[in-house]
Every structure is written in C-alpha cells, then in structure tokens.
Structure 1
Amino acid sequence: MPDTAQPPPDALSSPAASTEELAALRAEIDTLDDQLHALLMRRAGIVARLGSSRAKGEGPALRPGREAAILRRLLDRHAEPLPRAALVRLWREIFAASTAMQASFSVAAAVPPARGEHVLHLTRQHFGADTPIRPMTTAGQALAAVLAGEVAVATLPAPEPEEPEEAAWWVRFDTQHLQVTARLPFLMDPGGAGVLVVAATPPDASGRDRSLLRIELAGDLSHARLTTLLQQAGLPMRGLMIRRSGAEPVALAEVEGFIELDDSRLAALAGLHVQRLGAYAEPEPA
C-alpha cells in the first residue's frame, strides 16, 4: 500500500524556510524605510522653499489650524494596526522640525504646583523632543516671555471653574497683543484636563474650531441668562464659567466655530463688553 502518512509539522516550517521568510520581510521593511526617508527629505525641501517664498510673506511659521487639518485628513484615512496616537506623535515631530526650519522656536510653559507636570508633558508631546522649553512658575511669567519676544509661544493650564484667583490668567489676558491659538492634546479623552497655547500671532482656522470669549457682565447677569443671549446671537456654547470675585463679574465662554474679531454676532450682544481670547482646533476623540 502507498505511504499516505503526512510529514511532521516541523518539516513544513523548517529553520531554513523561517530564516528566508524573516530575511524577506526585513528586506521589505528596509525598502519602505528608504522610501519614507526619501519622502521626508523631499518634504523638508518643500518646507525650506516655503520658508523663503514671497508667497508666504511674513506669516508665522507656526500654523496650528493648518496642522490640525492635516492630522484630521490623515486620521480619516488611517487604519490599524498602527495606533492613532502613534500616527499623531510621528507627525507632531515632523511639524516641530518643519517649524524650527523656518524660524527660531521655543516655548515658555507655566508649571504651577498642582498641574505643572501635566503642562510640561503635553507641551513636550505636542512641540517635539528637540524644542527648547522654559518652565515658568506662573502663567503671568510665561505670557510676559511671549510679549517680550523671548519665546514663540506659552503653554498654560486650561481654565477650570474652581481654580484659585491667582490661577485665572484669562481674567487679565491681554487680548490686544496675545491670542490663544491651540488646545492640547489634539487627541483628548472625555473630561481630560487640557492645556492652551498662547502666541503673539492670531489663530488660523482648521475647519472645525472653537473660540474663547471673555465677557464683562453688566450687573449680576446669571449663567442661564447669558447662555440664552449667546444662543440668540447665534453662538452655540460648549462651556461657560463666571467669576464674581472682582469688581465686576466676568465670564469665559467657549463657543462653536472660528469667531473673527469683526464677527457680526458679537455686535448682537448689545450692552456687553466682549473680547475674543482666541480660537483653536476642536480636539479629536482619543
């Protein structure tokens, strides 16, 4: 009778076959690495041309809205097994290197005792491993460094309802010379504590944004009444906090959309002194 016994499993996956497969896979990865490197060099060349182009003019090297739009486009076409967070980290390093190619760039990070490590972590994660970061004790010191031209941007803890008086930097924020331009992290867990980026240059729209408005209240305007006024003006609200510790109550409203300084909806809030503190790309869910 013919021998119908099957060869042992080990014979189907001999050491020689495994070695050949491993070598082939590594060779394929090497080829892809070379292609990735070639594309990175090509991208850097275009960034260098952009930095010296008259078409760009004197615009800022840092464009948070443009960066957010790029990340959203990549995330929309992304697929596993590479995690979304890893993709964002890779491109954040690319953005940081591109910005440094166009202009000197450094960050002042406000690191108060309660949230300092969190601010430093998100600042480093967002602006890259090689970006110089100067820790500052208070938000006021970090903002002063931006105003003096010592750093390009400052990172500050995002406002919280129960924060102490000295931590409420937004109450005294200089909207004439500074603007909020980004919120960190870009991939955010629900309820996660955020960090805001402040620059001496205006924010740029990403296509899906939120704006911050500081509103000096006339009299003792209630939370509910102010919410109604914002909605009637066509400003959908995402968050609102009111501080009443000063001479006059002041509110901080987070509203949907990119609000321009001359937005007609602001004029609809008659009797209220409204200032835009800035705008930033709406965070993506982690």
Structure 2
Amino acid sequence: MTASAEPAPPPVPPDADPGAALAALRGEIDQLDDQIHELVMRRAEVVAALATSRVKGGASPLRPGREAMILRRLLARHRGTLPGGAVVRLWREIFGASSAMQGGFTVALHAREPGQARLARDHFGGAIPIRSLPSAASALAAVAAGEAQVAVLPLPEEGEPLDRAWWTGLDAPRLQVVARLPFWSARGEAGPEALAVALGAPDASGADRSYLRIEAAAEQGRTGLLAGLAGAGLAPRSLLLRRDGGTVRALAEIEGVLAEGDPRLAALPFAHVLPLGFYAVPERGV
C-alpha cells in the first residue's frame, strides 16, 4: 500500500447533516493518518537501507547540515495554519528516531540550567539516550572516547571562569562544533541556547557560521584582533576575549564555512589560529 492508494473522499456538501459532516471529516483524517504513517514507515525503510549500504560507509548518523537543509526546504514550502514550529518538532523526532535506528547513538549533556536539558531533548528527540554529565570537560571526554556521539554544551560567554570556557581547550580538528541549538525558534523568543560538538568535521548546510580560536599578544587587544580579522576578510559577528598573562585568547564567530587550509587564515597576523567547526544558521519563525 502507498500513500496514494486510497482516493480522497468526496467534499462534504454545505447542507449536509452536521453529524454526517463530522463523520466524513473524521474519516478523511483517518485516511490522511494512514497515508502519513505509510510514508513514515517507507522513510524508515530507506534509512535502514542507507545505514547498511556501502554508500554511507559506516559514517555517523549525525548530519546536522543535512537536517538543516531538509528543514529549510520544508519551512519554505509550508503553508496553512499549522505552525512552522510544529513541522520542525515533527521532523526532529523523525531525525532522532532515524539516528537511533542506526544504533549506538548517545548524547553527552552538560547543562547549567534545566532549559538546556529540555533543549537537548527537543533537538534530538525522545528516542535518543541523553547522559547528563557534571562538566563540559567530561562531556567532551565521553565523545572523544566513543561513549557518546555528540556533546551538548552551553554557549561560550565573555568573562566566564576558565573551567567553564571549554572552547579554550577544544581538541580541534578532532572535535568540532557541528550544530547550534535550537535550530528553530519563534522570532523575538528568548530561550536557552547550546552548541553541539562531535568527532570530525561538520557538513555544510549552505548557510553556516564558523568559530575560530585565536591566540595573540596581549597588546593587540580587541581593536587589534578586529582589525586583523577584517583585513583578512573575516570580520566577526562576535568576539569573546580571555586574557591569560601575556596572551589573549579569543573566540571569533565568522559568517560562512571556515576550515583548515582556508587561505584567509594565513593572512591573519596572530600567533596561532585554529578553526573550531561551524554550524547551520538557525531559522527564526514568525
């Protein structure tokens, strides 16, 4: 049976008996539910085939860039009264269940507030195990050891203590930022945010932002860092600074994909620069 196997019921006449009209509409909903279910089951079959095929080659099921592309496409074609956020939540559950089907997928979570735990659950869905860990370092260690496939960590903040500034010691390029949570939220809505870190490079979505870790002499300061980045064509959206003795460590957020080997990195007048990964630019609904 396929989603198009059953013909659509005839329209309800405007003068129909209310009870008959209600029964007809409920019957149509039942048919639509069956069609949706058929398509969901077929999608699962395709995911299972992909997981065992040579095409994928044993790669991780975590594909945040690919997921972002799917969600953007669906949101662009979406119409009607069903909120876009509901569409995103439906597909986030589908994505999570698809990852769980492929086996051995666990999220290592370090949350500083309950909202970040809910954020991780909403993003990865109910089918994915989530381990709460006491520190960012322990969450990253779980990923590095293969005990989890992704770590969900608080966003870096200006002036936070060194033991919270996990980005200063991120083992890139082995570990990289691959996603920013949430991918979708209502416009103007203020809520918790987080970054996801995984082994290996993320996949590009077509609209991405990158993180760059910089070490420079203390005298360069924020002004010198901004000027050096702009001179290389890498003017940052944001710049966090930490001063440790005679060294400044900075985290720059850059538009676009920035990876090792990018010629713009060689033009930067700093002691050390290292890309830390990138994420799909989140969508903001109405």
Report how far residue 27 of structure 1 moved: 0.5
Report how far residue 168 of structure 1 moved: 0.8
- Aligned residue in 2 for 1:240: 239
Letter in 2 for 1:218: A
Report how far residue 192 of structure 1 moved: 4.5
- Aligned residue in 1 for 2:92: 92
* Range with bigger deviation, 30-39 or 190-199: 190-199
- Aligned residue in 2 for 1:267: 266
**Is the alpha carbon distance of 1:196 and 1:246 closer, same or farther for their aligned partners in structure 2, counting shifts above 3 Å?**
farther
Which residue, 103, 125, 132 being the options, matches 1:128? 125
Report how far residue 43 of structure 1 moved: 0.8
Q: Deviations over 1:173-220 (max 9, x none)?
A: 111421110000001455644200011121110000000000001232
Q: How does 1:32-71 map to 2 (within 5 A)?
A: 32-71=32-71
Counterpart CA distance in 2 for 1:82 and 1:224 is: 47
Counterpart CA distance in 2 for 1:218 and 1:58 is: 43
Q: How does 1:202-213 map to 2 (within 5 A)?
A: 202-213=201-212
Letter in 2 for 1:22: L
SS in 1 for 2:217: coil
**Is the alpha carbon distance of 1:152 and 1:47 closer, same or farther for their aligned partners in structure 2, counting shifts above 3 Å?**
same
Counterpart CA distance in 1 for 2:168 and 2:219 is: 17
Conserved in 2, the CA contact under 8 Å of 1:158 and 1:193?
no
- Aligned residue in 2 for 1:257: 256
Rg larger for: 1
Counterpart CA distance in 1 for 2:27 and 2:116 is: 41
Give the percent of matched residue pairs that are identical in Structure 1 and Structure 2: 54
SS in 1 for 2:247: coil
Note if 1:105 corresponds to 2:139.
no
- Aligned residue in 2 for 1:156: 153
- Aligned residue in 2 for 1:143: 140
Letter in 2 for 1:223: R
SS in 2 for 1:46: helix
Q: Deviations over 1:26-71 (max 9, x none)?
A: 0000010011011111111111111111122232211000000100
User: How many pairs does the alignment contain?
Assistant: 270
- Aligned residue in 2 for 1:197: 196
| Structure 2 unaligned regions, length at least 5 | 1-13
SS in 2 for 1:156: strand
* Range with bigger deviation, 68-77 or 16-25: 16-25
TM-score after normalising by structure 1: 0.90
Counterpart CA distance in 2 for 1:226 and 1:270 is: 9
Note if 1:279 corresponds to 2:271.
no
SS in 1 for 2:219: coil
Conserved in 2, the CA contact under 8 Å of 1:60 and 1:201?
no
Counterpart CA distance in 2 for 1:175 and 1:247 is: 23
| Structure 1 unaligned regions, length at least 5 | 1-12
Q: Deviations over 1:105-155 (max 9, x none)?
A: 0111002xxx33122111000000121111111101111111111111110
SS in 2 for 1:220: helix
